[in-house]
Amino acid sequence: MKGLHYFLGVILIITANIGIIRGQTGLQVDFESGYPLPADGIDKGSSSILQSSAVGPLDDQTLEWRLPRDIMPEEYDLTITPILDEDVPGLGGPFTAPGEVTIALNVLKDTDKITLHLASTAFITLTSYEVIETETGTNLTVLSTTEDVLYQFKTFNMQAPLVNGTAYHIRMTFIAIITNGLDGLYRSAYVDPYTNTTKYIATTQMEALHARQMFPCFDEPAFKAKFFITIGRRTGNIALTTTQSLRNRTMAGFPGWQWEEFAPTGIKMPTYLLALIVSEFTYEEAPSNIFSKVVRTYAPAHYIDQDGGVYAAQKAAEILSFFESYYVEKYPLGKMDSAAVPSFFFGAMENYGLNIYRESALLYIPAESTETERYSITRILAHELGFATYVAQQGGDVVAPEFKASERWQNDAVQNSMQFDARSDYSHSVKIDDNAWITAGAMTWFDRMAYEKAGSLIRMMKGFLGEETLRNGLLKYLKDMQFQAAIQDDLFERLTEAAKNDSKLPRDLTMGDIMNTWTLQPGFPLLRVSVSDASGVLISQERFLNNEVQVEGHINQDTGLWHIPMAIATRSQPNPNGTVGSWLHNDVAMQYFLTNTSEWFVVNAGGNGFYRVLYDAPLTQLIQSELLTNHDFITSRTRSQLLDDYFNAAWQKHINIATALGLMEYLGNEREVVVWNTVLTNLRKPFNLLSSTGFWYTSLRFFLLPRLQSAVSLTGGVNNTALPDVNGGMPVIRNLQFLDWLCGFEDPECISYSTRLVTAWAANPSENPIRRDIKPVVYCAAVAGGGDTAFNFIHSQYILRNITVKQQGTLLNALACTKELPLIARLLEETLLDTGFYNQSAHVTVILSQLARNPLARAPLVNFLRESATTVESVAALGASNVITALATYTGTQIALDDIKAYIDEVTPAVPNFPVATRAAVTTIEQNIAWVADFAAPMSSFFEK
């Protein structure tokens, strides 16, 4: 069971003491990750001297995949030598890692078996072992060893029992493989632009169950231990791990090689938070006056030389300083490194002392990175350093307030996770059953429920407890549970104590009573509010579910009701702070509330509650009237959540789509990104599917474009000269978003502005006057409106050899925006030729997928595929299945589906797996056709009115 305190990873990287056991608790936070997402680790454990009582309720020996609790590791002394792309006679072959590990054992119960984890020989080979009584040095007899292949157990069967109270250690030598995968110990590579040579690196991803691939170990989070690490490496390389380097010494017998010894961890830690890198990286270090410990960003030299590590190093130091102050705990490790690797499955992974990131998630290049990228990097840094999604918002608000992270939370976390939590094929309880966690695949649970939903529930707790009460409960939890493993009830007990001290709980309820209704069952509530009489309303609750076709293997689970905190706002009491003053409890399905029903009434003021709300027609009309006359009287996050509730209720046919659209009429006066994000996210599918439908698209454009134009005018206009190229924050991102939609709707001013900018650039190609954030939109709009001239100029810049891969991609994508059929034909034809039109073969599949976004190019694109990609070679070369997948997003007619199905049938004899590769795309198109049938005409009717 994952635990609710999971989300408190932030605290655990700072204290590095509390044992949060992944797969053992309930509310987690997210990874971002990025957000992503995806997944980066969330578990935060560590402990000191582990007593048997510390395992407590986690000691469930009925689960076959759990290690016995008879023995616990105290210390690992690990020596390992990752060898990269060379053969070193006497040491090892290329991409191998010979090593030795000595594990000090604490015998809690007499036993004649030592069971630990060791992956298969595809990853690691055990070459020797011995078990020794530590005090006497006596070598004990191992009768035999056995393996459990399924659970990756290695058991050493002893002749005589190991006795409680006696110290032992087991020493093993091994050879690990530096695999070409993306977990355990694996290799990555990049081309050094200074020498044009390939540079290999060894790196790791231990979460969730991959440390056993690098060395034999007790690879469960509860089995924490101290680490002493020594890494062998080439003299020209660097080695990084959890702690700081102490000394180097020559590796006897191997000239050009040396041993690097690292400081002991000092604290106990789980194996999955161990990390290691061997590379030729260099680093940028944060100024020492920001944070008391050394904070560095590591990356290939050509990125560091462009100052690519400066921003991440400085912001990481600032974030750590804030967390240390806020949670009243000193950071326990000697340093904090962040490393950017070329190949990384997740956006990032938080490890002790060495966080590992994708390059794009960490490196900010001052001369070319955008504000969108800077926002993403800041957010991911805060998440990884805090081990949690919720605290990523906290850290982001402090170190980069210009991005308004707490506002964006409404879109990025609350509304995002609700989309998934409403699906019966996806939703599950936040707290996961232990056995389900391992049998369904540990990493599959690190999803929107574990991250965004869990983080949103934490924010909801903050909403009804208040920040100070929540913080007091967290600090008490940290103090009480230091050096122990923990479950979510441990957190709830401390929060209950803090809440009762501050009189923040209703009735005689505890935090466990309240939050178990949110963490132990899937889904979230839908509240319906209706006028009962002149003096009050009725509020009911039910589970919000998508109106979907049942997916095989998934059941629409019946759920209980929830304890629901309500922050009520009215015209006379607008409640701008979103203070919770009322509750709807889980023992009643409907309740009467006193209010003046002649004025608007909102239940979820501030949007902190993780639920949707629908109002009856009279109340909806009152809200709509307020939005039209004085929308700022209802806070921006409240407006955002209100619109998201209504759109999603309409898409699932709980209400008429016209009701949701009616709330949009005021948008010409709306400035806030959090609201526009909601609107444009919900209108992206209508735009995609209606853009090639003529009348329906025209009506959408007729309604939305004037409101966009008005909003743009209120926020500085299309050509907002007040926006800086760097450090502009959310206003820059808002401007990009508005321009993207304006130019997408072929707004004359936007097209003209873009054309003028590209024309000015063409007149002086060495000086690009276009702000970096809006380059993708401006290039595309200029090509769309500029005919051959703009197209040819953009292409001339694309084929230059002295531009970055990122710049190439932006220019290539713009070429696909052309509205000229001869140019579309040329883009298609050139994919079959070797004329140098495309810089590299990989760009062929990119341009075809980009053409799928262009309404005028879709029919020619399908015809081209039918004529040109019907053999195994051509299908692979053109990435035909990926193109079909891209087309599916924009296709909503039966005629187009028939053409695509015909193509699939034509290809199948040569490529038998093609129907499987394109099955999801066909399903998407079928769903799109149903969506068009349900919503296109009603939406068009509303827009026309």
* 400-432: pLDDT as tens digits: 999 998 899 999 999 999 998 888 877 777 776
Among 88, 347, 375, smallest CA distance to 237 is for 88
* Residue 858 near residue 688, CB atoms below 8 Å: no
In a domain, 599, yes or no: no
Residues contacting 756, CB < 8 A, separation 6+: none
Sheet arrangement for strand 153-162: 111-117, 153-162, 142-148
Domain termination site, one of 520, 552, 571: 520
Q: What is the pLDDT of residue 53?
A: 28
Chain-centroid distance, C-alpha 705: 32
Does pLDDT of 47 surpass 50?
A: no
Give the Cβ contact number of residue 281 at 10 Å: 24
**Interatomic CA distance for residues 240 and 228, integer angstroms:** 13
Which phi and psi (to 5°) does residue 852 adopt?
Answer: -60, -25
Q: Which amino acid is at 796?
A: S
Residues 6+ apart with CB under 8 A from 479: none
Name the active-site residue from 384, 452, 626, 672. 384
For residue 819, give the nearest of 882, 891, 743, 908 by alpha carbon: 743
Q: Are 477 and 492 in contact (CB under 8 A)?
A: no
What was the pLDDT predicted at 299? 98
d(CA 646, CA 668): 19
Question: Collapsing DSSP states into helix, strand and coil, what is residue 583?
Answer: strand
pLDDT at 139: 96
The predicted pLDDT at position 449 comes to 75
* Predicted confidence band of residue 438 (pLDDT cuts 50, 70, 90): low
* pLDDT value of position 719: 87
- Mean pLDDT within 875-903: 93
Which residue carries 């699932």 as its tokens?
A: 652
DSSP 8-class letter at 374: H
Of all residues in the chain, the percent with pLDDT exceeding 90 is 77
Q: Quick one: 253 exposed, middle or buried, by C-beta within 10 A (0-12, 13-18, 19+)? A: exposed
Alpha-carbon Rg for the chain in angstroms: 29
Residues in a beta bridge with 175:
98, 125
Beta bridge partners of 229: 78
Average pLDDT over residues 742-770: 96
Q: Name every residue whose Cβ is closer than 8 Å to that of residue 331 and which is 6 or more positions away in sequence.
A: 14, 291, 292, 293, 320, 323, 324
In a domain, 412, yes or no: no
Is 541 within 8 Å of 549 (Cβ atoms)?
Answer: no
**What is the rounded distance in angstroms from the CA atom of residue 931 to the CA atom of residue 944?**
20
Q: What percent of the chain has pLDDT over 70?
A: 90
Model confidence band, residue 724 (pLDDT cutoffs 50, 70, 90): confident
Task: Give DSSP secondary structure letters for 10-31.
Answer: HHHHHH--SEE-TTS-S-----
Contact in structure between 172 and 216 (CB atoms under 8 Å): yes
The enclosing domain of 473 has a CATH number of 1.10.390.10
Distance, in Å, from the CA atom of 124 to the CA atom of 804, rounded to the nearest integer, reads 39
Tell me if 495 is assigned to some domain. yes
- Is the separation of the CB atoms in 634 and 641 below 8 Å? no
806 found inside a domain = no
Instruction: Average the pLDDT over 827-834 and give the result.
Output: 92
CATH of the domain at 174: 2.60.40.1730
The pLDDT of residue 248: 96
**Orientation angle between helical segments 467-480 and 454-465, nearest 10 degrees:** 110
pLDDT number for residue 62: 61
CA dihedral sign of residues 111, 116, 120, 124: negative
Tell me the per-residue pLDDT of 214-233, one tens digit each, with 9 for 90 and over.
Answer: 999 999 988 999 999 999 99
Contact 386, 399 (CB under 8 A): no
The answer to whether 853 and 740 are in contact (CB under 8 A) is no
Helices (H), 246-345: 301-304, 310-326
Q: Are strands 525-533 and 612-615 parallel, antiparallel or unpaired?
A: parallel
Please give the tally of structural domains in the chain: 3
Asked whether the beta carbons of 36 and 395 are under 8 A apart, the reply is no
- 284 as an active site residue: the answer is no
Whether residue 417 contacts residue 448, with contact meaning beta carbons closer than 8 Å, is answered with yes
Decide if pLDDT at 250 tops 60: yes
pLDDT at 1 exceeding the cut of 60? no
Buried b (16+ CB within 10 A) or exposed e, 34-51: bbbbbbbbbbbbbbbebe
pLDDT at 61: 56
Q: Mean pLDDT score of the chain, rounded to an integer?
A: 88
Q: Could you tell me the residue range of the domain that residue 824 belongs to?
A: 820-944
Residue 899 maps to a domain: yes
Q: Where are the alpha helices (DSSP H) in 370-433?
A: 371-386, 389-399, 405-409, 416-421
Using alpha carbons, list the distances in angstroms from residue 606 to 247, 536, 633, 634. Answer: 54, 22, 12, 9
Q: Last residue of a domain, which of 258, 280, 302?
A: 280
Q: Is the dihedral of CA 822, 827, 828, 834 positive or negative?
A: positive
Q: Contact, 225 vs 75, CB < 8 A? A: yes
- Residue 376's pLDDT band, with cuts at 50, 70 and 90, is very high
Which amino acid type is present at position 284? Answer: E
For the four alpha carbons of 626, 631, 636 and 641, in that order, the dihedral sign comes to positive
Q: Which residue has the higher pLDDT, 944 or 189?
A: 189
> Is residue 21 predicted with pLDDT exceeding 60?
no
User: Whole-angstrom distance between the N-terminal and C-terminal Cα of the chain?
Assistant: 52
Residue 730 has which token pair?
């959310």
Break the chain down into helix, strand, coil percent, rounded to 5.
45, 20, 35
> Cis (ω within 30 of 0) for the bond into 208?
yes
Tokens 């964006």, residue located: 408
Question: CA 29 from chain center: how many Å?
Answer: 10
The answer to whether residue 699 is domain-embedded is no
Any alpha helices (H) in 520-585, and if so which ranges? none
Read off the amino acid at residue 679.
V
Inside any domain, residue 328: no
Band (pLDDT 50/70/90 cuts) for residue 5 is: very low
pTM for this prediction: 0.89
Q: Residue 275 has what pLDDT?
A: 97
Report the C-alpha gap between 250 and 239 in whole angstroms.
Answer: 15
Per-residue pLDDT of 451-501, as tens digits, reads 789 889 999 999 999 999 999 999 999 888 876 677 889 999 999 999 999
Q: What is the pLDDT of residues 168-187, one digit of tens each?
A: 999 999 999 999 999 999 99
Q: Which residues pair with 199 in a beta bridge?
A: 190
Between the CA of residue 920 and those of 248, 862, 885, 888, what are the distances in Å?
54, 17, 8, 9
Residue that finishes a domain, picked among 231, 249, 280: 280
- What's the pLDDT score for residue 525? 96
383 marked as part of a ligand binding site: yes
Q: How confident is the model at residue 910 (pLDDT cuts 50, 70, 90)?
A: very high
Polymer length in residues for the chain: 945
DSSP secondary structure letter of residue 50? P
pLDDT digits 0-9 by tens, 622-642: 999 999 999 999 999 999 999
The predicted structure's pLDDT at residue 221: 87
**pLDDT score of 787:** 87
Whether 332 is in a domain gets the answer no
Amino acid at 555: I
Determine contact, residues 318/398, Cβ cutoff 8 Å: yes
Interval 335-367: pLDDT, tens: 999 999 998 888 899 999 999 999 999 999 998
Q: Which amino acid is at 815?
A: L
